[in-house]
Amino acid sequence: MTFSAPVSPLLDCNTLSTVADSGDIVSFVSLMESMGASPEDQTEVVASFLSDTDAKVFVAGHRGLVGSAIHRKLVALGFTKLLLRTHAEVDLTRQADVEAFFAAERPRYVIVAAAKVGGIHANSTYPADFIAVNLQIQTNIIDASLRCTGGAVSKLFFLGSSCIYPKHAPQPIPESALLSGPLEPTNEWYAVAKIAGIKMCQAYRIQHGLDAISAMPTNLYGPQDNFHPENSHVLPALIRRFHNAKISGANEVVVWGTGSPLREFLHVDDLADAVVFLMDRYSGLEHVNVGSGKEVTIKELAELVKEVVGFQGDLVWDKTKPDGTPRKLMDSSMLAGMGWEAKIPLREGLADTYKWYVDNVVDN
Ligand SMILES: NC(=O)c1ccc[n+]([C@@H]2O[C@H](COP(=O)([O-])OP(=O)(O)OC[C@H]3O[C@@H](n4cnc5c(N)ncnc54)[C@H](OP(=O)(O)O)[C@@H]3O)[C@@H](O)[C@H]2O)c1
């Protein structure tokens, strides 16, 4: 059930929660009507997302890799009322702050791209942060979308990641692999929080009718990626290392392993395109995989990065070092069946990312 008429924010968040928690739907409807909202208003808010460019859209985490791409995409599509808050402005782990923000702004659309994200090292060093911060951010946002907006939120989009799937999931990994086996232990704290986010979207849809959907992207790359020497993913790490080798005039770059593992990469602008596609067209319980469907070996990737960066020395494989999982590919046939496909070829995406790195990270 969706309501769209204005209501008093404080009355809304405090009183509505009590009535909603009681499960008394008759009282809930009557309370909403007394506040000036009406179920009939729903017709106003179910307009197609893409044509609803005057609606308020909250992009949580708009300065991150994913959030900034979604922000760029929405600006390009003509959305005029984007709600953007930095971490310092609204700390999404703080329930009272999130509730006050939602009650005051009452967005019509909510996209959850804020999260505590990191590699294996960060996950194993700060497991408590990874589980607690992610649970807090997503719980606060999803719950406030329901309880603190007087029904203004007509759609919520939650972003997870491919690490939600079991370590030994079938390849390519279908959506149905969720909770079918043990997780990869190195990032299970993060994965458990993300799985809880999917389940929370499903539970709020079932119990409260909140149109909350979730998507699980494959490995992403692009502008705003993390190029940190210890904390970055393989693709930005390769860009940084080849660039540094080029600048210092080194003869070779040594990369761990044999280069044989297969990986899938998606440019973050393609992900942003998929997000708006799903916001516009999808409403369902099932989470949706978002991948490019194209696999490359780490060797092919490293050679491509070397070429794009313009490093003239040798690429050397240290085969005494471990390779990692042999293959990791998402099965994105559900999304493909809806008519979406990735458009940015890896070489083009790498060139774009390298340019961003040189313009924004190098010498900073
Ligand atoms: N990167 C990938 O390859 C990848 C792949 C699949 C899925 N995803 C998913 O995409 C989502 C976003 O990832 P990302 O790579 O874009 O991460 P990111 O670049 O680290 O961005 C995360 C954003 O969240 C904000 N944030 C974190 N804690 C916050 C808090 N307490 N209050 C307010 N804002 C907070 C950060 O702001 P500050 O920096 O100011 O803290 C940052 O803007 C995650 O759910 C992740 O699982 C990412």
Q: Summarize the confidence of residues 120-130 as an average pLDDT.
A: 90
Q: Summarize the confidence of residues 218-237 as an average pLDDT.
A: 92
Pocket test for ligand 1, best of 59, 71, 73, 87 (most atoms within 8 A of CB): 87
Q: Within 10 A of 270 (CB to CB), how many other CB atoms are there?
A: 23
Tens-place pLDDT, residues 304-316 = 999 999 999 999 9
Q: Which residues are catalytic?
A: 190
Q: Is 214 in the pocket of ligand 1 (CB under 6 A)?
A: no
Tens-place pLDDT, residues 4-55 = 333 344 445 655 545 545 555 555 455 545 544 444 333 333 459 999 999 9
CB neighbour list of residue 83: distance below 8 Å, 6 or more residues apart: 56, 57, 58, 59, 105, 107
Q: What's residue 364's pLDDT?
A: 60
Least confident window among 7-11, 222-226, 253-257, 343-347: 7-11
Measuring CA to CA, which residue among 277, 207, 159, 178 is closest to residue 23?
Answer: 207
Give 340 Cα–ligand 1 centroid separation in angstroms.
Answer: 24
Q: What percent of the chain shows pLDDT beyond 90?
A: 80
Q: What's residue 122's pLDDT?
A: 85
Measuring CA to CA, which residue among 159, 174, 219 is closest to residue 331?
Answer: 174
pLDDT tops 80 at residue 186: yes
CB neighbour list of residue 245: distance below 8 Å, 6 or more residues apart: 252, 253, 311, 313
Q: Summarize the confidence of residues 267-282 as an average pLDDT.
A: 98
Domain boundaries defined on the chain: 47-222+265-294+327-344
By the 8 A CB rule, do 113 and 92 touch?
Answer: no
CATH number for the region 47-222+265-294+327-344 comes to 3.40.50.720
By the 8 A CB rule, do 221 and 265 touch?
Answer: yes
Angle at 331 between CA 329 and CA 337, to 5 degrees: 145
pLDDT tops 80 at residue 302: yes
Query: Which residue did the predictor score with more confidence, 117 or 120?
Result: 117
Q: Is 281 in the pocket of ligand 1 (CB under 6 A)?
A: no
